[in-house]
Chain A
């Protein structure tokens, strides 16, 4: 009961509340909310939607894991957005200019992406440990710089090439592709979705079975207690940030190696911020994050069907925003409620109820 109330109730309440909110918004704008939600659910069975949801879940999952590592020690890596973008461009350029045997080629591209993501995250990390610069501000600034750098690197006179009215990096040769699982007319599941699952397992092991994970959690629970216990705070910041950035670098890999084989102007934006929302929803727990990523992907892909019933599909973005805000509020309310309950219980045991 305790687990149910403390961990599962808040997200359920938040999702219901957000659905209610969006339902009201739909009613006000003259649409039928039951129809709209019905269309979204039935859309899952149509065309490639189900597979799209799985693929998108993988991408969101990696982004949320990257954020969650920082969150474990109260380190806000708002910069996942920039880290995955720079990593995507550089990895695509490197992949497109190499000639390596199949398998090795893809592996090199993946490693480059992780390395670049980690390097991009290293700048705010170093600034934080050497100069005391707050990581929230510096990563926000790094996000802006990443956008600029990515736009610059795919210029025609730098690394890019013009195809139609789209600019993209040179295509990665077939030896660098990661084959997917073809499901006929339902689409193809990206092979690297399994990388996401693997990262999730690795994250769980790291958090629960290694010394580093313990120190990470300890630093998050109480920085002073961790320092007293011999945890080197600066080292933790540096390692957590580099790990977070390295994983953030992998966010784009399923799409680039599985389908696009290039970085172009249509590259998805906002994955990093979605990752923050999903990590919050899932409370940094690998299972919770998986659920959150699935929910996000479902809302994204099924929301496309809303246009068919005359509802602007942006309603799902409102729903996502409402879910994040209400879930954090719900967690906080439940935490306070439990704190009060515990105080009462302790008070009862001590026989001093009401005296405090």
Chain B
């Protein structure tokens, strides 16, 4: 966040990129599917790729994805948004308040508005008044939590007789791809190696799809198009890379930062709505977000401040969450086995590239993980909840040199 902290090394001459971004994505997805089905085959845990697991994973990934997308907007414009959690909490309250009265679509709109209000506050503090971004974010988290507690005592208590809970909120109808879903179900039931795994994953993705899922995917694609394919997006990103240069070229930096942070809040708010509108939840519940705003931030960092990577990070964290919720710690242990397999592939790759040090590190990690897999029966649920945090720490520790955040991220900019 502070560019002066970055090591002052000269970047190596960039190799011409052999693969376009979409191909990397496709390869990544294919690799993940192969890894999962191999793990599922070797450990004998079919739940890894079952329809139910994938469906739960998608539901749990949505809030993380949307929060991460909010973080992406803000940070691309150079504003660090630790306040995502607070904006998300405000979103959950807004969604519940509008949702139980006027239905799920109103819930989405209200959540976006409430989140955007949080974003506006963050923008006023950081952009207009030049307050440190982290400080403002922490304050907004406090304020968001306090405000929703107050409002829910005031508004929800007379209705639900519980100050920590809202009345039940109606959910979206879900849609399944007709025909395709049944056919994939048959395929999955045959338990063929590989094929059934792919069928299970696909079926999880096309069965019981909520409009919210489609909206979230559309928002990811839309964010990519707006931020990387329009004039407005280019200007917005230039505010995050070098605001002084942007200003000198006639870009209104303050206005772009405001737009980005307000959008960020709205997206985090919709992320909150995704929690309230999750079919597994009755409605608003105090402490419902449980740090998901921070996990969203983690997913964004995992994805190297890019929408595609963010999608991957949210999918990974949502999957880990869903697997735990759906089938418990024993199944989760299979993921540890999967991680060992992944490490083995990485080690081979590093050996091929003659990077002995990295390969040795990989071997040590793989042996340690295998020892864990071999010695315990199940991963305690207390720890699996925080797997995303651990993964993020490891990614940061191993790959922090390859991650590239916007150059002026977190730097207070004041118009000259």
Report A's interface with B, CB cutoff 8 A.
25, 29, 74, 76, 78, 123, 127, 131-134, 136-138, 140-145, 147-149, 151-152, 155, 223-224, 273, 276-277, 280, 312, 314-322, 324-325, 328-329, 332-333, 336
Complex contacts, B16 vs chain A, CB 8 Å: none
Inter-chain CA distance A74–B135, complex, in Å, is 11
- The answer to whether B150 and A314 touch across the interface, beta carbons within 8 angstroms, is yes
| Residues of chain B from 294 to 350 with CB closer than 8 A to chain A in the complex | 294-295, 297-298, 301
Inter-chain CA distance A21–B102, complex, in Å, is 30
Contact of A127 among B121, B380, B396 (CB under 8 A): B396
Inter-chain CA distance A29–B157, complex, in Å, is 14
Inter-chain CA distance A338–B301, complex, in Å, is 38
Inter-chain CA distance A277–B142, complex, in Å, is 9
Shortest distance from the beta carbon of A313 to any chain B beta carbon, whole Å: 8
B136 at interface (Cβ–Cβ under 8 A)? Answer: yes
Q: Which residue of chain B has the shortest Cβ distance to A29 in the bound complex? A: B154
Inter-chain CA distance A280–B139, complex, in Å, is 10
- The answer to whether B134 and A312 touch across the interface, beta carbons within 8 angstroms, is no
Inter-chain CA distance A332–B124, complex, in Å, is 12
Write out, one digit per residue, whether chain B residues 85-101 have a CB within 8 A of any chain A CB (1) or not (0). Answer: 00000000000000000
Inter-chain CA distance A319–B149, complex, in Å, is 12
Report B's interface with A, CB cutoff 8 A.
1-2, 4-7, 80, 82, 121, 125, 129-132, 134-136, 138-147, 149-150, 153-154, 163, 291, 294-295, 297-298, 301, 380, 382-383, 385-386, 388-390, 392-393, 396-397, 400-401
Inter-chain CA distance A131–B154, complex, in Å, is 48
Inter-chain CA distance A160–B163, complex, in Å, is 31
Count contacts between A and B, CB distance < 8 Å. 147
Shortest distance from the beta carbon of A189 to any chain B beta carbon, whole Å: 28
Known: A317-B142, A318-B143, A333-B129. A132 touches B5 (CB 8 A): yes
Contact of B131 among A273, A316, A332 (CB under 8 A): A332
Known: A136-B82, A333-B129. A273 touches B386 (CB 8 A): no
Inter-chain CA distance A78–B397, complex, in Å, is 18
- The answer to whether B150 and A133 touch across the interface, beta carbons within 8 angstroms, is no
Complex contacts, A142 vs chain B, CB 8 Å: 389, 393
- The answer to whether B125 and A328 touch across the interface, beta carbons within 8 angstroms, is yes
- The answer to whether B142 and A320 touch across the interface, beta carbons within 8 angstroms, is yes
- The answer to whether A152 and B382 touch across the interface, beta carbons within 8 angstroms, is yes
Complex contacts, A145 vs chain B, CB 8 Å: 386, 389-390, 393
Inter-chain CA distance A336–B131, complex, in Å, is 12
Inter-chain CA distance A88–B140, complex, in Å, is 27
Complex contacts, A318 vs chain B, CB 8 Å: 143, 146-147, 150
Known: A314-B150, A318-B150. A141 touches B125 (CB 8 A): no
- The answer to whether B146 and A321 touch across the interface, beta carbons within 8 angstroms, is yes
- The answer to whether A328 and B150 touch across the interface, beta carbons within 8 angstroms, is no
- The answer to whether A325 and B163 touch across the interface, beta carbons within 8 angstroms, is no
Inter-chain CA distance A136–B2, complex, in Å, is 11
Inter-chain CA distance A276–B400, complex, in Å, is 26
Of listed B2, B382, B385, residue having the most chain A CB within 10 A? B382
Q: Which residue of chain B has the shortest Cβ distance to A318 in the bound complex? A: B146
Q: Which residue of chain A has the shortest Cβ distance to B147 in the bound complex? A: A318
Known: A273-B141, A324-B142, A325-B121. A133 touches B397 (CB 8 A): yes
The prevalent SS among residues of A at the interface is helix
Inter-chain CA distance A142–B298, complex, in Å, is 12
Inter-chain CA distance A325–B123, complex, in Å, is 12
- The answer to whether B138 and A147 touch across the interface, beta carbons within 8 angstroms, is no
- The answer to whether A148 and B383 touch across the interface, beta carbons within 8 angstroms, is yes
Shortest distance from the beta carbon of B124 to any chain A beta carbon, whole Å: 8
Inter-chain CA distance A338–B154, complex, in Å, is 42
Complex contacts, B134 vs chain A, CB 8 Å: 76, 78, 136
Inter-chain CA distance A315–B147, complex, in Å, is 8
Known: A148-B385, A314-B153, A329-B131. A140 touches B297 (CB 8 A): yes
Complex contacts, A155 vs chain B, CB 8 Å: 380, 382
Inter-chain CA distance A303–B103, complex, in Å, is 35
Inter-chain CA distance A214–B154, complex, in Å, is 50
Enumerate 27 A-B pairs (CB-CB under 8 Å) in ascending A order. Answer: A127-B393, A127-B396, A134-B2, A134-B5, A141-B298, A141-B392, A141-B396, A144-B294, A144-B295, A144-B386, A144-B389, A145-B390, A148-B389, A152-B380, A224-B4, A276-B138, A277-B139, A314-B146, A316-B146, A321-B144, A324-B135, A325-B125, A325-B131, A328-B135, A329-B125, A332-B129, A336-B130
- The answer to whether B301 and A321 touch across the interface, beta carbons within 8 angstroms, is no
- The answer to whether A138 and B393 touch across the interface, beta carbons within 8 angstroms, is yes
Complex contacts, A336 vs chain B, CB 8 Å: 130
Inter-chain CA distance A324–B140, complex, in Å, is 9
Complex contacts, A143 vs chain B, CB 8 Å: 291, 294
Of listed A127, A132, A149, residue having the most chain B CB within 10 A? A132
Known: A137-B298, A141-B393, A324-B139. A151 touches B382 (CB 8 A): yes
- The answer to whether A325 and B389 touch across the interface, beta carbons within 8 angstroms, is no
- The answer to whether B386 and A325 touch across the interface, beta carbons within 8 angstroms, is no
Inter-chain CA distance A148–B383, complex, in Å, is 5
Complex contacts, A333 vs chain B, CB 8 Å: 129
Complex contacts, A312 vs chain B, CB 8 Å: 149-150, 153-154, 163
Shortest distance from the beta carbon of A318 to any chain B beta carbon, whole Å: 4
Shortest distance from the beta carbon of A169 to any chain B beta carbon, whole Å: 15
Inter-chain CA distance A119–B393, complex, in Å, is 16
Shortest distance from the beta carbon of B336 to any chain A beta carbon, whole Å: 16
Of listed A151, A317, A336, residue having the most chain B CB within 10 A? A317
Shortest distance from the beta carbon of A122 to any chain B beta carbon, whole Å: 13
Inter-chain CA distance A259–B380, complex, in Å, is 30
